[in-house]
Amino acid sequence: MSVILSRHWHLGSFVLAEMYPKLKAYHEWWYFNRDHNGNGLIEYGGTVDDTHTTKEGEMRFKVQASTQLAVLASCKKGKDNWYICSGNQLYLNLLDNPQISAFDIPVQHAAGWESGMDNAARFGFISNEQFKEYANQTYQGDMAKAKADWQVKIFENVRDGQLVGYSINQESVELNSYLAMEKQQLAAMAKRLGNNQDAQKYQAEYQTLKARIDACFYDSKTGFYYDLAIDNTPQSSSECKGKLLVHRGKGPEGWAPLFSQVASGKNAKSVINTMLSKNEFNTYVPFPTAAITNPAFGADVYWRGRVWLDQVYFALSALSHYGYKKDAQQLLQKLISNSKGLSEKDSIRENYHPFTGDQQGATNFSWSAAHLMMMLDEIGLPESTLDQH
């Protein structure tokens, strides 16, 4: 878009003038609907609609219990000991009940979908077998303690007495990195339109958020960025109290600050070391959607192991932004060479197996095709291989 605007100033100004208020409103929507504790760091969540909320304004959810519990008297019993319930307070009361074996919460799924990483580990998704293994390795088999590590809580976001949406109890490093990038872009747009007040506002917000991402989401012990678990307590705009979700493992959200160019050079180097490690993300087809070391990693799991080309694009862009373009080019070559069908006349698929390169998911996937074109255009292949393509 910037190229078009520079070549066609009058057309660009017209488009910007029309689009800027809409883009600004979209950006501000997040702060009104997804900032539960009011500290300016945003969470993913869900909207107020029939899937998530009853007509009475109560959150829908299901629980599984092996015996009929008095506390579930208001719930409707379904198949396989599942109970269909509603009410945020009831939900919160049941969270620590040892007789509840499982939860199914539409808002939790919605938060994953809102991010685009549907069933990622950071949203509390892990197989039963992996969960038992995690409990054994981390807590000598104490399932209750392990459950607390993977349990996602849902908070209601209320403005002026009205329910406007839900947040999960974790501030997203990825989303806030993207929002920082948006602030910088909005500042540039506002400046071009002569709106100096907005330009100064968004540039100042960008600088503040950029510093907070390093301060709030980076774990120096593991050298990676993670989401930050929060409680139900309001915080000031300078606070980020909580616990980094290190125990849910590393995922592509950890290089979002590098893609958005808000990571410090020191922190970026540590993240890149992890990205390039064959014990983490540098697999046969590089950059799976969970590190090999992630407790919930599964090479054939949708967003906990399969390789998605949009996340590869973010990864290669991150490497390029911080001086590792040759590595990015070599990894792009590795992706194309090892993903079955990409170097042949075959359909471009939804995702690929990180260890075998097998095609996975939908065929003729435009999302993958678009990002492949972007990688070839912006990253490029190593010079030694250009004649082969």
Q: Which of 118, 239, 300, 378 is catalytic?
A: 118
pLDDT, residue 383, reads 86
pLDDT digits (tens, 9 = 90+) for 244-262: 999 999 999 999 999 999 9
- pLDDT tens for 344-378 read 889 999 999 999 999 999 999 999 999 999 999 99
Confidence of residue 1 (pLDDT cuts 50, 70, 90): very low
- How do 243-244 and 60-65 pair as beta strands? unpaired
Q: Is the pLDDT of residue 67 over 60?
A: yes
Q: Is the per-residue pLDDT at 11 higher than 90? A: no
Catalytic residue chosen out of the listed positions 300, 350, 358, 378: 350
253 has catalytic annotation:
no
Q: Are 312 and 285 in contact (CB under 8 A)?
A: no
Strand partners, 53: 59
Q: What is the tens place of the pLDDT at every residue in 121-176?
A: 999 999 999 999 999 999 999 998 999 999 999 999 999 999 999 999 999 999 99
Give pLDDT, residue 13: 80
pLDDT band at 3 (very low <50, low <70, confident <90, very high): very low
pLDDT given at position 12: 73
pLDDT, position 2: 47
pTM (predicted TM-score): 0.94
Distances (CA, A) of 191 to 179, 257, 268: 18, 24, 30
- Is 118 annotated in the active site? yes
Cα–Cα dist 102/334, whole Å: 41
Mean pLDDT of 191-204: 97
Q: What is the rounded radius of gyration, in angstroms, for the C-alpha atoms of the chain?
A: 22
